[in-house]
Amino acid sequence: MMKGEWVRAHTNIALIKYWGKENEELIIPMNNSLSLTLDAFYTETRVIFDENLKVDELYLDNTIQDLAALEKVKTVLNIVREKAGITAKARVESYNHVPTAAGLASSASGLAALAGAASLAAGLDLSEKELSKLARRGSGSASRSIYGGFAEWQKGTDDDTSYAIPIDDANWDIGMLFIVVNDKKKDVSSREGMRRTVKTSPFYQGWLDTLDADLSAIKEAIDQQNIHEVGAIAERNALKMHATTLGANPPFTYWSPDSLRAMESVRDLREQGYSVHFTMDAGPNVKLICKQSQLAEIKAYLLRDFSESQLIEARPGPGLHVVSEFSK
């Protein structure tokens, strides 16, 4: 039996989105993406390889998960077993730490924590680059959660060249505020959504065409710690990504009426003079990009339209690390 340590990975939110795969099996993306890792949401995971187990098992928040949930996990475990030359099945224990039961648990923190925990349990000593590649095979966005602060996933051309690198430690006045408008499971997963969009949306090429410009502009804005520009570029990038879904066949959108209400609130805040923009992922929740020092004021303003439990403050968070004391 090989019992690993507890490993923690924080979730990340993309400011320049990953949307579309060039290679479905290896998870090589169509475009580079850039994200901010956050303190507020994380996953803690431990892996035990045990010859007595007949199949791989995943316990999430003390509840055993079904085969569908195991799929991404098994991809990562199989790569680790191959690298380490072991055959034992694994018991994966994982806890998602999210402030409310708001459906915000992400595959990014989950698969990044698993990459770290499984490789440790197997006795592998992987570099951050190797961990990023391993996490990527489970879920693309997980490649970026190896790092704290801003990270860029460089698409590369094959398994060896597709991984994330750190860009900036985000140790400046930037924060995010989540407006949780829906906690139901999404109808179209990000995996299916991006697949359908690449295949059928005439707007997909338009999405790809402006990506390099968005990426270089946001890197310059990050360099200058220009919160207004970082937010403005991220908001435009997110809107372009979401526009591709309306052109897909069959068409779909991740927006709900409440998402639009949240966007209106952001525009109101801007009229009040706040530098605040939004981004959205494959679901209806809206994530605001603003000054960390103004999070409290902005939250207070939003309490006119949303309840306390819908508003979650987040600050830049750390990269993948071993946690010595685990209290569950």
Q: Please tell me whether residue 141 binds ligand DP6 under the rule CB under 6 A.
A: yes
For residue 54, the tally of other CB atoms under 10 A from its CB is: 6
Query: Residue 141: helix, strand or coil by DSSP?
Result: helix
Among 6, 18, 49, 95, binds ligand DP6 (CB under 6 A): 18
Task: Closer to ligand DP6 by CB, 96 or 294: give it.
Answer: 96
Per-residue buried b or exposed e for 161-187, using 16+ beta carbons within 10 Å of the residue's own CB: ebbbebbbebeeebbbbbbbbbeeeee
- Give the DSSP letter of residue 293: G
Q: Please tell me whether residue 191 binds ligand DP6 under the rule CB under 6 A.
A: yes
State in angstroms the smallest separation of the CB of 189 from ligand DP6.
8
Among 10, 17, 74, 242, binds ligand DP6 (CB under 6 A): 17
- The stretch near ligand DP6 (CB under 6 A) out of 38-46, 83-91, 138-146, 309-317 is 138-146
Q: Is 67 left (phi over 0), alpha (psi -120 to 50) or beta?
A: alpha
Q: Please tell me whether residue 281 binds ligand DP6 under the rule CB under 6 A.
A: yes
Q: Give me the half-sphere count of Cα atoms (radius 13 Å) on the Cβ side of residue 228.
A: 5
Task: Closer to ligand DP6 by CB, 31 or 294: give it.
Answer: 31
The residues with which 280 forms a beta bridge, in sequence order, are: 286
Among 33, 132, 197, 265, binds ligand DP6 (CB under 6 A): 33
Joined together, the tokens standing for residue 214 give: 């968005």
State in angstroms the smallest separation of the CB of 268 from ligand DP6.
26
Joined together, the tokens standing for residue 128 give: 């951050």
Number of residues that bind ligand DP6 (CB under 6 A): 13
Among 120, 282, 288, 298, binds ligand DP6 (CB under 6 A): 282
Answer for the pair 217, 230: CB distance below 8 angstroms, yes or no: no
- Listed in sequence order, the residues at least 6 apart from 276 whose beta carbon sits closer than 8 Å to its beta carbon are 231, 266, 269, 270, 288, 289, 290, 294, 298
State in angstroms the smallest separation of the CB of 185 from ligand DP6.
14
Tokens 């801003």 correspond to 150
For residue 25, the tally of other CB atoms under 10 A from its CB is: 9
Among 14, 105, 286, 302, binds ligand DP6 (CB under 6 A): 14
Task: Closer to ligand DP6 by CB, 281 or 313: give it.
Answer: 281
- The stretch near ligand DP6 (CB under 6 A) out of 11-19, 204-212, 215-223, 295-303 is 11-19
Residues from 90 through 129 that contact ligand DP6 (CB under 6 A): 107
- The stretch near ligand DP6 (CB under 6 A) out of 14-22, 88-96, 120-128, 200-208 is 14-22
Q: Cα–chain-centroid distance for residue 214?
A: 19
State in angstroms the smallest separation of the CB of 303 from ligand DP6.
27
- Listed in sequence order, the residues at least 6 apart from 191 whose beta carbon sits closer than 8 Å to its beta carbon are none
SS3 content of the chain, % helix, strand, coil (to 5): 40, 25, 35
Q: Please tell me whether residue 152 binds ligand DP6 under the rule CB under 6 A.
A: no
Binding site for ligand DP6 (CB under 6 A): 14, 17-18, 27, 33, 107, 139-141, 190-191, 281-282
